[in-house]
Amino acid sequence: MTPRPSTRNKAESPVEIVVLDTAGEAERYAASEIRSFITARREPVLGLATGRTMLKVYDWLRQWHEAGELSFAACRSFNLDEYRGLSADDPSSFASYMRRSLFDHVDMPEANYHLPDPDAPESSLAAYDLAIEKSGGLGLQLLGIGRNGHIGFNEPGADRHSLTHVVALDPSTRAANAGDFPPGVDVPTHAATMGIATILGAERILLLATGAAKSEALARAMSGPVEADCPASYLQLHDHVTVVCDREAAALLQERS
């Protein structure tokens, strides 16, 4: 699995883009970057993401843990977001997703992993950013990208200076996530999410994008202007971003580079 050269010149942008042939290779590469970060730090602080794109990443991390090659005992983590109105035990909640995908299978103490309280009053969500700050700040933030360019649940129009807050989910986001809910169950209309400023406060950002459906959003985010209409474009303002993608996701970006 040899990564292709970055599609961008580092002199032009601090964003490093690693293109792999397949989604599987990209997922393993992203997982290996997380593994390297954890093993290099005494007290790693992770920002974690959910969604179908991340499932194989967490599979790799679990496998390495089960093989005795990776410990999460010293890790602390903060998830990007959570649906408003879902209990932590709801199978469609991100809390349940994280337990199924990672937390129940590794040695991270339960007290060390955190998700924003989706039903807290807006004024109380500042406590999430404070908890991140008290932990020493996010060392590595894992991200996906929505088809409309969202990161976390920061939808088009997101404020660059926003901290953790409640957002109304775009209809396209709700439609894209409908498959994560039982038939006939509506996707919640709101969620709590880290804000753009919270995300950009991470020391390092790792974005994983796979599949042709993400190609337009990725091209806008990395090759287009920095603008609120494509929240992921704000990542161009960060000085340590690595984008890992497969050929399908990178297709339009390569054309525009």
Q: Catalytic site residue 66?
A: no
Listed residue (234, 50, 49) closest to 142, CA to CA: 49
Residues 222 and 212: their CA atoms lie apart, in Å, by 16
Q: b or e along 128-151 (b: 16 or more beta carbons within 10 Å of the residue's beta carbon)?
A: bbeebeebeebbbbbbbbbbbbbb
CA distances from 211 to 38, 46, 88, 175, 232 (A): 27, 25, 30, 18, 17
Catalytic choice (27, 82, 129, 148)? 148
What letter does residue 118 receive in the DSSP assignment? Answer: T
Region of 166 on the Ramachandran plot (φ > 0 left; ψ -120 to 50 alpha; else beta) = beta
Catalytic residue among 129, 155, 246, 248: 155
| Alpha carbons 250 and 222: distance in angstroms, whole number | 10
Q: Is 155 a catalytic residue?
A: yes
Phi, psi (degrees; rounded to nearest 5) at 185: -100, 125
Known catalytic residue at 240 = no
Is the distance from CB of 217 to CB of 147 less than 8 angstroms? Answer: yes
Cross-strand bridge partners of residue 48: 79
Asked about 239 being catalytic, the answer comes back as no
Which is catalytic among the residues 81, 82, 129, 246?
A: 81
Catalytic position from the list 79, 150, 154, 246 = 150
User: Active-site residue numbers?
Assistant: 81, 148, 150, 155
